[in-house]
Structure 1
Amino acid sequence: MNKKTLIGIAVATLIAGPAKAEEIVLKVAHFWPATALSQQKILEPWCAKIAAESNSRLKCQIFPAMQLGGTPAQLIQQAADGVADIVWTLPGYTAGRFPSVEVFELPFLTRNAEGASRAAWEYYEQFGKKDFEAVRPLAFHVHDAGHIHNNKREIKSLADFRGLKMRAPTRLTNRMIAHLGATPVAMPMPQTPEAVSKGVVDGYVLPWEVIPTMKLHEMTKFHTEMDPSQPSLYTTFFTIAMNKAKYESLPDDLKKVIDANSGAELSAQIGRAWDESAPAARKLAQERGNQFHTIPASEAGAWVKVGDRLAEEWVKEVSAKGYPGQEMLDSARALIAKHSK
């Protein structure tokens, strides 16, 4: 190679500039519509943040509403298998697979989603790592207070549940429905509007944010809430989880970007977004003239006893599977109290 050729190569290299770093696109899948809080207030800002902090080397391609195929219950396995790089789902959609974290779905345990979500991450680090060893968790969180919604009658006491078919999302929330006196019907959230409109169920339990997203406030007449001085009737446990092989394949500097944007802070941020979403969503049901009833604190005792029975049952069940059930329950309660002040 002569001198003139070498100079030409050098000049071309200078003009072209340094080689562009490889762009890595993460496939992010979830079951909500693209208009939901989960995508607009959490995933899209999160993806923008990791793009900025990686100089656009990390980017997301978001697949809402199960666009990668499968069912909501299959999302966690899709993350394990690499069908998706990151998923957002309910561990409770696969009943019995993640018993350690079910404790957060027990009735009357949480007071706000932000504190309970921060507690959830800390709890996972103590008790949940074995259950989630097939994936790399990025966040754990709960939603804000869940409430009772139905079309048959105003629910003012436990007796009013008799004869009702009520949708709930997970094993423990369905058991709670049964203990309250209704017939539980298990189904993922996306199936709920059709089930309500066709009368497959008389009602459902959900937090406020989800209801207008699914237009359920337009299909529902009655809403029952606990007195705000009381802990939440129930909540549901979620995770954002990443495929382990995809994470391990990242260069160290990009792993640091993911690490800096996951964990307790991300979990608490998600919980806070859910807490903040409730008033505006509830207002839409009010504006339609739907009927509301609050269970006063003075009458909450019978409801709380339902939660106590369910907690006792859960401790026995998970202890029989080799988990330290009572220690897990006590720890969850202590962590929630610590982070919810």
Structure 2
Amino acid sequence: MNTGTIRSIVLAASLASAGWLAATTSTLAQEVTLRLHQFLPAQANVPAHVLDPWADKVESESGGRIKIERYPAMQLGGTPPQLIDQAQDGTVDIVWTLPGSTPGRFPSTEVFELPFMMTSAEATSRAYWDLFESHMKDGEFKDLQILAAWVHGPGVIHSRTPVEKMTDLQGMKVRAPTRVITALVSELGGTPVGMPIPAVTESLSKGVIDGAVTPWEVVPSLKVQELVSNHTEFGGDHALYTTTFVLAMNKAKYDSLPDDLKKVIDANSGQDVSALFGKTQEHYDAPGRELAVARKNNIITLSAEQVDEWKAAAEPVIANWVKEADGKGIKGQALLDEARALIDKYTAK
């Protein structure tokens, strides 16, 4: 073999090695940009205290290789009920949304929205994740990568006129977030008006609705305490209602990540993350309530004994849900029993 041939072989080998090293370095330094889309203003509690800290943590733990762009208040277009489709079809990469915004599509999640199910948001969120893993992950949510599943703190009735008895709801137009809670408002005597949370401020100010059911934590961003002067809380161990949320990622986008970046996402997903999100959201109920106190609004807290009457009136909502679930091929009573047992389990810890 002559000298020229040897030099050619060495040069080819060097080029191949350099190419391999460049490709390897490129892979290791790969940058991924994920777009997170959601429906509330950036300063609202969930974006500010749940989603932003989560996104910051993912970016940090990826060594800056993952960048999460945050788009609040539907800045990328569409309406809140369209968020789940945006994640599924890849219009965006990650969304925070309510499964209940698309009625009938994720029926198993509704079990946690049934009246007087929730104890604390942290315990109920742990139960929700468990049930998601065992009943929903490979069924209703099979086309999405669910990163977290949680609920908010106790639901409260915010109204123009006081609500102390169920009869006070008669003829009152009350905003409700999901199908189950709409059924609950109707069963209790109110006239439910379904609408996403961002529409509440304008609807109250224009008299389209007379009240709304929301947790305390969202009150400041909607200025509810300025638009109504009555707030009805429910005493006892279980809340009037809660709403389910998911942080959902486009499945193809997740699958396209290199294994080490998948691990970063996985480390910031699951039951503990879901429980933290629920706990954090409920934590911000107190500052929201304090704004109403500062305005000297009328805060009505029903005793456990008074709440018993509401519980009895709400029973048909639960029975109807079980029947409907059975009709959809879901064993409604079994799912309800399992959800209650899980909530009890995590509440006792």
Q: Deviations over 1:237-288 (max 9, x none)?
A: 0000000000000001111111111010110000110121111110001101
Q: TM (normalized to structure 1)? A: 0.94
RMSD of aligned C-alpha atoms?
2.2
Matched, 1:290 2:300: no
Equivalent residue in structure 1 for 2:153, among 136, 144, 159: 144
User: 1:233 is paired with a residue of what secondary structure?
Assistant: coil
CA distance in 1, matches of 2:306, 2:48: 38
Q: CA deviation at 1:46?
A: 1.1
Q: Which 5+ residue runs of structure 2 have no aligned equivalent?
A: none
The farther-off stretch of 191-200 and 288-297 is 288-297
Alignment partner of 1:329 is 2:302? no
| 2:151 maps to amino acid | V
Structure ID, larger Rg: 2
Q: 2 CA distance for matches of 1:255 and 1:122?
A: 21
Once the 2 structures are TM-superposed, how far is the Cα of residue 59 of structure 1 from its aligned partner?
Answer: 1.2
Percent of pairs with identical residues: 48
1:238: which partner in 2?
245
Q: Would you say the 8 A contact 1:176–1:306 is kept in 2?
A: no
Q: Which residue of 1 aligns with 2:325?
A: 318
Kept after mapping to 1: 8 A contact 2:188/2:314: no
CA distance in 1, matches of 2:46, 2:66: 20
Tell me if 1:268 matches 2:278: no
TM-score, length basis structure 2: 0.91
Q: What does residue 56 of structure 1 align with?
A: 64
Consecutive unaligned residues of structure 1, counting only runs of 5 or more, are: none
Q: 1:8-23, aligned counterparts within 5 Å?
A: 21-23=29-31
Rounded to whole Å, the distance in 1 between the matches of 2:308 and 2:217 is: 27
Written as runs of structure 1 = structure 2, the 5 A alignment for 1:125-204 is 125-129=133-137, 130-151=139-160, 153-204=161-212
SS class of match (1:109)? coil
Q: Distance in 2 between matches of 1:181 and 1:308?
A: 14
Q: Which string of whole-angstrom CA distances, capped at 9 and with x for unpartnered residues, describes residues 157-180 of structure 1?
A: 111110100000100010000011
Number of aligned residues: 334
* Offset at residue 306 of structure 1 (A): 2.6
Question: CA–CA distance in 2 between the matches of 1:255 and 1:307?
Answer: 43
Residue 66, structure 1, aligned to residue 62, structure 2: no
Matched, 1:27 2:35: yes
Letter in structure 2 aligned against 1:298:
E
Q: Is the 8 A contact 1:146 1:233 kept in 2?
A: yes
Letter in 2 for 1:44: D
Does 2:256 correspond to 1:249?
yes
Structure 2 match to 1:219? 227
